[in-house]
Structure 1
């Protein structure tokens, strides 16, 4: 029982020191898993605070585990390719992003940040909505939903849909 109380006290003190977004000059690094239709992968991002509630950054995703038909390609009985194999250019995406960090506006918790934003990627113009929660001043967790608003190409193949569709990210965030 004493050990449980000591652990609870330490966690309470560490929560009190955390701050989700501190404004101009704030730097965040996020690394996590990316989940989308027919693929799972890795997502990394970096955000830099320009003002009290504004940040810009860069984000990249790479689809590691993709469904078998996208991994091997599919041919019909005559040898014609029906479904293209997903190459590096289909699996990789790079985005420039803009966030509106509104956690302090909502006044939910000093450790919590909600950040809707827009992004320009190699695949599309899109949006995202994310949330961060810090357990200490340097470490927390994040989740983010990303979605395309305008795709650069019409009639995408299934391989081209990778990183060009709704996706979810979940992982760790670090204050730099």
Structure 2
């Protein structure tokens, strides 16, 4: 019961002190968090910059820290405890977002669908940010590939060409 009361107090405090999540032109946000996906987990960092009332552009980079080794036959090759190299673990993307906080009428919550063009694919994402104070909030994001740049001929091509889930902290820079 004490845990439920503490949780309710935390939610009430957060809702009462929540700040505007997206301000439009000139807005700048940084997100830092965990990236979770099949076959590995890592970190994600992104930056978004407001261009208009409901439009922003940005950059996102991910690096997989924990990746499953592979032993077996893949294509015409046999692998034994193969580990991915840097280019298999790293991805960087340019992205555009449609920031919908003013459209849905909740200033503290920014829902942002968008498209991204990266080193490994062209994809989309759906994310959300909620700010507790003027400078700090939380984010979550779901990313997915639309068009891949490879034919899956390498054993670790799938690492940056699949659905990913990210969550972490968001910071206001303006």
Above 0.5 in TM-score?
yes
The runs of 5 or more residues in structure 2 that have no matched partner are 1-5
The match for 2:66 is 65
The match for 2:111 is 114
- Contact 2:122–2:148 at 8 Å: present in 1 too? yes
- Contact 1:61–1:163 at 8 Å: present in 2 too? no
Give the number of the structure whose alpha-carbon radius of gyration is greater. 1
> Which structure has more strand as a fraction of its residues?
2
Q: What's the TM-score once normalised by structure 1's chain length? A: 0.85
- Deviation string 1:86-122 (CA, Å, 9 cap, x unpaired) is 1000000000000000121011x21000000000000
The whole-number CA distance in structure 2 between the counterparts of 1:34 and 1:7 is 26
Q: By how many angstroms is 1:8 displaced?
A: 8.2
- Deviation string 1:8-40 (CA, Å, 9 cap, x unpaired) is 88655522xx01000000000000000010000
Count of residue pairs brought into register by the alignment: 163
The match for 1:103 is 101
Q: The residue matched to 2:160 in structure 1 has which SS?
A: coil
The runs of 5 or more residues in structure 1 that have no matched partner are none
The whole-number CA distance in structure 2 between the counterparts of 1:96 and 1:116 is 14
Residues 8 and 103 of structure 1, relative CA distance in 2, 3 Å threshold: closer
Q: What's the TM-score once normalised by structure 2's chain length? A: 0.85
Aligned Cα root-mean-square deviation (Å): 2.2
